[in-house]
Chain A
Amino acid sequence: MQVIIDKKKIEAKKNETILAVAQRVGIDIPYLSFNPELRGKGGDRVALVEVKGESKLMSAETTKVREGMIIFTNSSKVQRFRRLNLELIFASHIEKCADCTLRFNCRLLELARLQQIKISEFSDRKALRKTYRFSTAVEIDGTQCIDCGNCIEACALQGINFLQFTGKGYQQELKPTNDKSRVCIHCGQCTNVCPVAAAQEQLEWPQVEKVLADKTKIVVAQFAPAARVSIGEEFGMKQGTDCTKKINTALKELGFAYSFDINFGADITTMIEAEELLQRLKNKKNLPLFTSCCPAWVTYAESYYPELLPHLTTARSPHIHSAGAIKTYFAKKKGLDRRQIKVVSIVPCTAKKQEAVRTELYYQKEPLVDYVLTVREFAFMLKKRQIDLARLKESETEPLFNDGSGAAAIYGASGGVMESALRTALFLNSTKEKKISNDFRLDFKELRLNKNIKEAEIMLGKRKLRLAVINGIANFHYILPHLNKYHYIEVMACPGGCLGGGGQPLPNTKEIKEARRKALYQIDKDKKIRRAHENKAMLTYYNWVKTNKLEAKLLHTKYFSRKRT
């Protein structure tokens, strides 16, 4: 069908919204809370258009095109009321711009500037609203919320349904649900869709800045598999650029003493998990084995299905491993005092902030990971210091450890953890002759598919292994009644895995996630070493732990029921 937008004739498809048509042909309709991954709600009344024949202005987000529709995107009427609605929204959002990680890409500020609105036209009305904090991971600041409801929808899409609106009109408030059996799993998907950073990670960059300035501390950083392929987006780089070596340089510029790669820790996780898989298959105990490197999944299991906890691998998650290696082995080799070392993890995840303070992961009564920054926080710190990642030279990771195998890189993608463990399990399970021939399957493409639930069967020796990958926690309940069918199950709470994590740069759309995914598998493909057990530096550390009988203190973890009724 044909429509006319701003006097231009445009071909449109049935069921397309006015906004979708306009975006497709490059006509800019300003919008605020619209998110292409969510249902168009049209509540903020910013994306307004005038449609000939309609007495009221229409929302371009929700109004579908009709044959012959004549649309004006910037008439004086549109301008007048768009501006007024923006002024009203501003007055329901207390600006905390100075410390806001969204500052450098805030749509609200951008709109205020472009639409020339008066920020202080009305007095702030939400000064007394509460901030809800969920563990140490995520928060929702009621003084900043603009009532768009995106977070509620994101949480519902995860199947968690932890958030709700209470009250109505000006008294409407976003709150955790009254249903005490619901638990926030800290996945941070709400923070990915909040247009004004009211739902966001609990910020730790201010503490990191402080500790970096403390000359008595040795502050080191380590960054996650999925962080390297997303951070470039914050600096205008092509989607899916591998920034590993630039991150090393950036960390030095910020004043970190050493830069480490969590991929090293991922290889440790793989090693333990592969061994555990073989052990459990042999003993026929606690099968299926579940992965456990996704802390949101761990909280989910602890809160909703504690009966499954014995099935989770006891292997610690990658950044806890590498932090353990840094604070023990590395400190010893370098002659450093462990208590002076502060480890900062840079991750695409909000739930890791909660994982880091789990006391069962402490070493000699102190956390191994001292601070957790999301990729967004890290980018913010760089921008604040006017460090342009894109222009930085490349440099290497601290050489005592390394940047891991190819198998570690794909930890950032759904299916990647399982694929890594299988590569190593196939090797460990084989005969001497086979090991010498080194002819093993490396690619498990059926685990890489862009599906919510992936199933596969592979041969491990003479045994047929049945596998499942849960891509997005909302899909877990589909598989729950059939758990006995499987030997090994990977669960990632965020759709896409860590590359779609709650701490990733925004926007976090399907297209962008796909670019990050491709980049991770490219890193894997280009690596000389593509299996964890071939990582010699990792094996050296692994054996050191065993020699010193530190397995329980450094390699394994425990889980606890947190079920609420």
Chain B
Amino acid sequence: MTNLALIKKIEESGLTGRGGGSFSVAKKWQLVKKNLKGNNPGYIIINGAEGEPEVKKDGYLLAQETESVIAGVYYAFLYLGKKNVKAIYFYLNPIYFKKYRARIEKVLKNSLYKELAKKVIFYKKSEESGYIGGEESVVINIISGKKAQPNQRPPFPVEIGLFEKPTLINNVETFYNIALIATGVYDNKRLYTLAGACRHKGVYNLPATMSIADVLQATDNYPDFPFFVIAGGGVCGEVLDENQLLAGVEGSGLIMIFDHRQTDYDKLLNYWLRFYKNQSCGLCTPCREGSYRLHELAKEKKIKEEKFIDLLDNLEQSTFCALGSSLTYTVKSYLENIYFKYKKYD
């Protein structure tokens, strides 16, 4: 298959990045290729950080679909041009590094991947880099030996990435999908992780166009008790009530179910706020200071105060990177759809 044919297929599939950012994959690949021109070799990074709480899809793929994931990487290698790729980093969280490295190495022994294998470097994500250690510019900084903090964008990694070189960084699931597209079996599915108070926890491969309600039905997980969900990721997602489930799932494909009868609404809010407070990288004021103040205010039960909303808006509007803004997304949807509706005040 020619490069042109491949990129056309990817384009037609409408595939978007499965790491949470949902950027067009075809566009990203084309940009990297363009920037590699003129003897300016760069890098490929397979992002297996999977730092979003509860999400387990990349681990599932590394375990069950290792061949396809590697095939996807190989297509990228061919598309960018073997000579244009200096090294290929498998960036894995400590658990995946320990569990799946051998499995990946085994697949790489296939003679087809001889050239590819020579360029592969395994990189264990550090424990302390935490949640932000999966953000692409942070991944690049960590591999370069810098502090786990995001970079100003633009320039994007496609232009100035790892070691200042053009870099293709995609999520494990994205590479998996590339293999499906290239072999003509991609049928617009995505991986959903089902978690929380559900009967059949696990990872499911289902049409990307399904609504949350459909996914719950299809996996026989539709609760028979009053419930609500967080969809997208475990801390970065949209919190929706039972009657709001016709929307699709974005982000990392998580659906986590909460039982209204067993939820301590304040405790749940505090969990999210504490998570962000502890995971903020410390670079910018609205996130470092704001997440701390939000947690303090919540502990003092002052979430109805104007200040609380101000701080949330500030996270959405003025943070350095997208991580801080995602807290606003989660908390605001939670307050609006659940908290103020169900919380019984003493």
**A interface, CB within 8 angstroms of B:** 41-46, 48, 56-57, 59, 62-64, 77, 80-81, 84-85, 88-89, 91-92, 121-122, 125, 147, 165, 167-172
List chain B residues, Cβ under 8 A from A81. 286, 313-314, 317-318
Measured in the bound complex, the distance between the Cα atoms of B156 and A64 in whole Å is 13
Most chain A CB within a 10 A radius of its CB, from B278, B281, B284 = B284
Instruction: Name the prevailing secondary structure of the B interface residues.
Output: helix
Q: Give the residue name and chain of the A residue nearest to B129 (CB).
A: A168
List chain B residues, Cβ under 8 A from A92. 289
Q: Once the chains bind, are B285 and A45 in contact (CB under 8 Å)? A: yes
Asked whether B130 is an interface residue with its Cβ less than 8 Å from the other chain, the reply is yes
Interface string of B90-118 (1 = CB under 8 A from A): 00000000000000000000000000000
Give the shortest distance, in Å, between A177 (CB) and chain B (any CB).
13
Give the shortest distance, in Å, between B81 (CB) and chain A (any CB).
29
List chain B residues, Cβ under 8 A from A122. 293
Known A45-B284, A170-B288; 16 more pairs at CB < 8 Å: A43-B284, A59-B320, A64-B154, A81-B286, A81-B314, A81-B318, A85-B286, A85-B314, A88-B286, A92-B289, A165-B147, A168-B128, A168-B282, A170-B277, A170-B280, A170-B291
List chain B residues, Cβ under 8 A from A172. 282, 288
List chain B residues, Cβ under 8 A from A167. 282
Asked whether B39 is an interface residue with its Cβ less than 8 Å from the other chain, the reply is no
Asked whether B243 is an interface residue with its Cβ less than 8 Å from the other chain, the reply is no
Measured in the bound complex, the distance between the Cα atoms of B255 and A69 in whole Å is 40
Q: Once the chains bind, are A57 and B318 in contact (CB under 8 Å)? A: yes
- CB<8 Å pairs between A and B, sample of 8: A42-B284, A45-B285, A45-B319, A56-B319, A88-B286, A122-B293, A168-B279, A170-B277
Measured in the bound complex, the distance between the Cα atoms of B284 and A171 in whole Å is 13
Asked whether B311 is an interface residue with its Cβ less than 8 Å from the other chain, the reply is yes
Measured in the bound complex, the distance between the Cα atoms of B130 and A171 in whole Å is 14
Q: Once the chains bind, are A169 and B319 in contact (CB under 8 Å)? A: no
Measured in the bound complex, the distance between the Cα atoms of B289 and A170 in whole Å is 6
List chain A residues, Cβ under 8 A from B313. 80-81
**B interface, CB within 8 angstroms of A:** 128, 130, 147-148, 152, 154, 277-293, 307, 310-311, 313-314, 316-320, 325
The one of A43, A57, A62, A64 in contact with B285, judged by C-beta atoms closer than 8 angstroms, is: A43
Instruction: Name the prevailing secondary structure of the A interface residues.
Output: loop
List chain B residues, Cβ under 8 A from A88. 285-286, 289-290, 293
Q: Give the residue name and chain of the A residue nearest to B307 (CB).
A: A121
Give the shortest distance, in Å, between B262 (CB) and chain A (any CB).
30
Give the shortest distance, in Å, between B302 (CB) and chain A (any CB).
12
List chain A residues, Cβ under 8 A from B279. 168-169
Q: Once the chains bind, are A45 and B280 in contact (CB under 8 Å)? A: no
Most chain A CB within a 10 A radius of its CB, from B307, B310, B314 = B314
List chain A residues, Cβ under 8 A from B287. 169
Give the shortest distance, in Å, between A128 (CB) and chain B (any CB).
14
* A169-B291 contact, Cβ under 8 Å, with A48-B318, A63-B152: yes
Q: Give the residue name and chain of the B residue nearest to A57 (CB).
A: B318
Measured in the bound complex, the distance between the Cα atoms of B310 and A81 in whole Å is 8
* A59-B147 contact, Cβ under 8 Å, with A43-B284, A45-B284, A81-B286: no
Q: Give the residue name and chain of the B residue nearest to A88 (CB).
A: B289
Measured in the bound complex, the distance between the Cα atoms of B319 and A81 in whole Å is 10
The one of B280, B286, B289, B310 in contact with A91, judged by C-beta atoms closer than 8 angstroms, is: B289
Q: Once the chains bind, are B318 and A45 in contact (CB under 8 Å)? A: yes
Give the shortest distance, in Å, between A357 (CB) and chain B (any CB).
35
Q: Once the chains bind, are A169 and B320 in contact (CB under 8 Å)? A: no
**Closest CB pairs A-B (n = 8):** A172-B282, A169-B280, A88-B289, A170-B292, A62-B152, A81-B318, A85-B285, A168-B282
Q: Give the residue name and chain of the B residue nearest to A56 (CB).
A: B317
List chain A residues, Cβ under 8 A from B319. 45, 56
Measured in the bound complex, the distance between the Cα atoms of B279 and A81 in whole Å is 22
Q: Give the residue name and chain of the B residue nearest to A48 (CB).
A: B318
Q: Give the residue name and chain of the B residue nearest to A63 (CB).
A: B152
List chain A residues, Cβ under 8 A from B282. 147, 165, 167-172
Give the shortest distance, in Å, between A41 (CB) and chain B (any CB).
8
Give the shortest distance, in Å, between B178 (CB) and chain A (any CB).
29
The one of A42, A165, A169 in contact with B277, judged by C-beta atoms closer than 8 angstroms, is: A169
* A169-B278 contact, Cβ under 8 Å, with A42-B320, A44-B285, A64-B154: yes
List chain B residues, Cβ under 8 A from A85. 285-286, 289, 314, 318
Q: Once the chains bind, are B286 and A147 in contact (CB under 8 Å)? A: no
Give the shortest distance, in Å, between A162 (CB) and chain B (any CB).
16
List chain A residues, Cβ under 8 A from B289. 85, 88-89, 91-92, 170
Give the shortest distance, in Å, between B137 (CB) and chain A (any CB).
13
Q: Once the chains bind, are B310 and A84 in contact (CB under 8 Å)? A: yes
Most chain A CB within a 10 A radius of its CB, from B287, B293, B318 = B318
Measured in the bound complex, the distance between the Cα atoms of B148 and A63 in whole Å is 21
List chain B residues, Cβ under 8 A from A64. 154
Measured in the bound complex, the distance between the Cα atoms of B278 and A249 in whole Å is 56
Measured in the bound complex, the distance between the Cα atoms of B293 and A320 in whole Å is 51
List chain B residues, Cβ under 8 A from A80. 310, 313
Give the shortest distance, in Å, between B40 (CB) and chain A (any CB).
19
Q: Once the chains bind, are A56 and B291 in contact (CB under 8 Å)? A: no
List chain A residues, Cβ under 8 A from B317. 56-57, 77, 81
List chain B residues, Cβ under 8 A from A147. 282, 288
Q: Give the residue name and chain of the B residue nearest to A17 (CB).
A: B152
Measured in the bound complex, the distance between the Cα atoms of B284 and A11 in whole Å is 30
List chain A residues, Cβ under 8 A from B283. 41, 43
* A59-B152 contact, Cβ under 8 Å, with A88-B285, A89-B289, A168-B282: yes
Measured in the bound complex, the distance between the Cα atoms of B282 and A41 in whole Å is 12
List chain B residues, Cβ under 8 A from A48. 318
Q: Once the chains bind, are A169 and B285 in contact (CB under 8 Å)? A: no
Measured in the bound complex, the distance between the Cα atoms of B311 and A418 in whole Å is 57
Q: Once the chains bind, are A125 and B292 in contact (CB under 8 Å)? A: yes
Q: Once the chains bind, are A56 and B318 in contact (CB under 8 Å)? A: yes
